[in-house]
């Protein structure tokens, strides 16, 4: 074979190889066919998960028309703080007027305010959902609370745990009850969990855990209570800058 033929063949091979590196064109996003008047949460808010993980359940929102009827074909966009990932972040409502997205939390512990928005006819309609990312200590507190506390403090039964809440004469406060727990100092909450309710003239049905849990375990439960409190816990004396 001549040198010219060899060179030509090599050029063809290189061209073919270069062509294989081209990425296929991305399919264009679906186009909205309707415009809603309101957007509401269907499910998925107020979940807990370790930082950096995907929440167990997806978030689902619904777009409604002027009459409050579910609206297919409307655009929904999901937004959140830096580090939060949605899959997908934008979509068109399905035949039931709903849009669904999985949520991966960021790497910073705390409460995350997520937003779902639809353009609306005159102005955007928005709904907010709150999710909670647990750091290491808070996640440990979550595990310990589920093992030692939730049987009484959580009124809802589950497949893994039957609640004892309804059997108690004095009803324990759920850990999400910020109106109660936010008024109590860390020292008081630790004293109750260590020495039982009578330590602070509370219900004698609250047992002591000083001989069951270590000081670090009790601190972890306290950290968990603080992060799930609703309304959110604000330490006394903290000043938040105002515009």
Domains of the chain: 38-134 (2.60.40.10), 136-228 (1.10.760.10)
Residue (of 89, 34, 29, 96) closest to 62 by Cα position: 96
> What letter would DSSP give residue 13?
H
* Reported pTM: 0.79
Looking at residue 145, what is its pLDDT?
96
Q: Which value, in Å, is the radius of gyration of the alpha carbons in the chain?
A: 27
Averages of pLDDT over each 10 residues, the chain, 243 residues: 43 40 46 95 97 98 96 97 97 98 97 96 95 98 95 84 86 93 94 91 91 97 96 75 52
Alpha-carbon distance 175 to 205, whole Å? 16
Residue (of 125, 132, 160) closest to 146 by Cα position: 160
Q: At residue 87, what are phi and psi to the nearest 5 degrees?
A: -135, 105
């Amino acid at each position: 074979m001549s040198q010219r033929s060899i060179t030509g063949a090599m050029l063809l091979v290189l061209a073919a190889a270069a062509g294989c590196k081209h990425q296929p064109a991305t399919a264009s996003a679906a186009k909205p066919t309707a415009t809603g008047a309101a957007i509401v949460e269907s499910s998925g808010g107020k979940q807990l998960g370790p930082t950096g993980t995907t929440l167990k359940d997806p978030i689902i929102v619904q777009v409604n028309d002027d009459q409050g009827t579910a609206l297919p074909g409307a655009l929904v966009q999901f937004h959140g703080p830096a580090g939060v990932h949605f899959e997908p972040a934008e979509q068109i409502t399905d035949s039931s007027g709903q849009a669904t997205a999985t949520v991966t939390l960021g790497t910073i512990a705390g409460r995350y305010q997520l937003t779902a928005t639809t353009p609306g006819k005159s102005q955007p309609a928005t709904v907010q959902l709150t999710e909670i990312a647990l750091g290491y200590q808070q996640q440990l507190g979550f595990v310990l609370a589920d093992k030692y506390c939730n049987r009484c403090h959580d009124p809802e039964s589950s497949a893994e745990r039957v609640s004892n809440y309804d059997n108690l004469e004095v009803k324990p406060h759920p850990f999400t009850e910020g109106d109660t727990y936010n008024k109590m100092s860390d020292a008081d909450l630790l004293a109750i969990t260590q020495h039982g309710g009578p330590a602070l003239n509370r219900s004698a049905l609250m047992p002591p855990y000083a001989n069951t849990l270590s000081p670090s375990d009790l601190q972890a439960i306290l950290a968990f209570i603080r992060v799930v409190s609703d309304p959110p816990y604000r330490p006394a004396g903290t000043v938040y800058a105002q515009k």
